[in-house]
Amino acid sequence: MSSPRIYPLGDSAIVCEAPPPATLDVQRRVWAAAEAAHTWPHVLEVVPGMNNLTVVFDPLEATAAQLGEQLAAAWHAAPRAHAEGREVEIPVEYGGEAGPDLRTVAEHTGLSPEDVARRHAAGDYVVFFLGFQPGFAYMGGLESALHTPRRAEPRLEVPAGSIGIGGEQTGIYPAASPGGWQLIGRTPLRLFDPSRNPPTLLQPGDRVRFTIAGVSL
């Protein structure tokens, strides 16, 4: 396990950042270090990300050097055992109006659109963290054959429920928003609902399995 880089972010935050690639083992260390940091005095906020963790603190009561030592120790400690995440099934309509970039991904990867859908749905995915917008799950587990760069020009509005590929990751847009990921499909499930408890359908550690509801060319 490579040592992470720990550095200040302004006067009241520090970042612990692991070198790529993003793996489940690294993400488990992020989760464990985040749990530990939540218990430290003078810590105001803990923000886990992909391969990184940001800790916001009260600069009148703590220093970046002091917390950096604690963060390094927490990182290198054996990750705590986490309860097995739920398995969540996400039905997807691939291609057509629901997935206007399916052919683009197929051309980039050298696969047929049907193969892209099949291989995407066959993956075993784990939610690494939530970010960008409420309920947007960044998932690890996309097979390398499907890795595709983001669009050169982002769309001004991506429909809610859209399934996208952005580089080495796949994710689901919970709400309509601008976005630059390659859209390969869409799900009717509601990823974020403020009336639910919790409001997000997916949580870090959950395992996601996509199912093919249909493929349109």
Closest CA to 72 of 15, 141, 134: 15
Kindly tell me the burial class for residue 73, based on how many C-beta atoms sit within 10 Å of its own C-beta (0-12, 13-18, 19 or more).
exposed
Q: Percent of the chain beyond pLDDT 90?
A: 75
Enter the tokens of residue 129.
């963290």
Q: Are 185 and 102 in contact (CB under 8 A)?
A: yes
Q: What is the pLDDT of residues 146-187, one digit of tens each?
A: 999 999 999 999 999 999 999 999 999 999 999 999 999 999
Task: Report the DSSP pairing between strands 52-57 and 43-48.
Answer: antiparallel
CA–CA separation, 35 vs 133, rounded Å? Answer: 22
Question: To which H or E segment does residue 129 belong?
Answer: strand 125-130
β partners of residue 162: 186
pTM of the entire structure?
0.81
For 33-90, write each residue's pLDDT tens digit. Answer: 998 999 999 999 999 988 899 999 999 999 999 999 999 999 988 666 565 678 999 9
Top mean-pLDDT range of 18-22, 135-139, 171-175: 171-175
Q: Alpha carbon 188 to chain centroid distance?
A: 20
Domains of the chain: 5-76 (3.30.1360.40), 87-216 (2.40.100.10)
Q: How many CA atoms lie within 13 A of 111 on its CB side?
A: 17
Q: Please state, as a whole number, how many other Cβ atoms lie within 10 Å of the Cβ of residue 161.
A: 21
